[in-house]
Chain A
Amino acid sequence: MSYRTKSLALSAVLAALALIFSYVEAMIPPIIPMPGVKLGIANLVIIVALYSIDFKHAFSINIVRILVAGLLFSGLFGMLYSLAGGVLSIIVMGLLKKTDLFSIVGVSMAGGVTHNLGQLIVAALIVENQKMFLYFPILLFSGLVTGILIGIAAHLINNNVSSLKEKVH
């Protein structure tokens, strides 16, 4: 299979998987009942894509997932928050990965934190209240913890799923 075909097919499958994860996430009752504090299992797919395909594809998968999940589950405002968080975190993760200094866990950790930061920036803009940032420490720590957990899971997946192991290119 050509690189183009294979990466396109893989992207489509991963986008669908990410969407399912978004759905599953919406169904799990929140462990800590605070808006914005969640596991972010859909990001697991994005990180796997980032490592097994490339930044461009991971970015696209993320955008597709957020737009469709927004339309299906979370509504327009939810979509806006996710979009800000998703775009910021994937860019940061892409850059960190490029430096080659960080492991997949570190990259995921930074992604978790910046995802919450992006959401909060949009929330502060919409509500027009800088006090929203008082909420940031909670989101920062939750992003840190979930990012690490997701990173460990992504590490295990990347090392054990053989079809992902042989990189597309």
Chain B
Amino acid sequence: MIKKADIILFIVILVFGLALTFLCFTAGDKGSYVDVTVKGDLYGSYDLSKDQVITVNQDSHTNKIIIKDGKVQMSFSDCKGQDCVHHKEISKTNQQITCLPNKVMVTVRGAWEGGYDVISN
């Protein structure tokens, strides 16, 4: 019932799939800047290569984001959960730290993507 070509095809697809999976997990390029959005609106974009502290003030909430050595971390948040503060630092494109209660989202972006997003929007 099973032929030789079946097994070859199976192995080819399997290897292809595993290679793709591997690529997906390692692909994230080093980001070049950080987008901070509040309630979905862009709050500001910051250079990832420059060490800095960003303070996000909105109505009654405060979040502090630290950029250091090309890595981003949420250092302070006055939200209840504190999940965002415990989130480990991020540095690769499309990695995100989200503070749901304060609706603050930090996303690492690569250089070319800024342009792309503008076009697609």
Contacts and interface: CB of A to CB of B under 8 A. Distances in A.
A141 interface: yes
Given A106-B6, A106-B10, A109-B9, A136 B1 contact: no
A148 B9 CA distance: 12
For the side of the interface on B, what is the size category?
A: 10 to 19
Contacts of B94: 131
Contacts of A109: 6, 9-10, 13
Interface string B70-89: 00000000000000000000
Contacts, number: 48
What's the dominant secondary structure at chain B's contact region? helix
Given A103-B1, A134-B24, A155-B1, A144 B6 contact: no
B3 A140 contact: no
For the side of the interface on A, what is the size category?
A: 20 to 34
Interface string B41-56: 0000000000000000
B57 interface: no
Interface of A: 99, 101-106, 109-110, 113, 128-129, 131, 134, 136-137, 140-141, 144, 148, 155
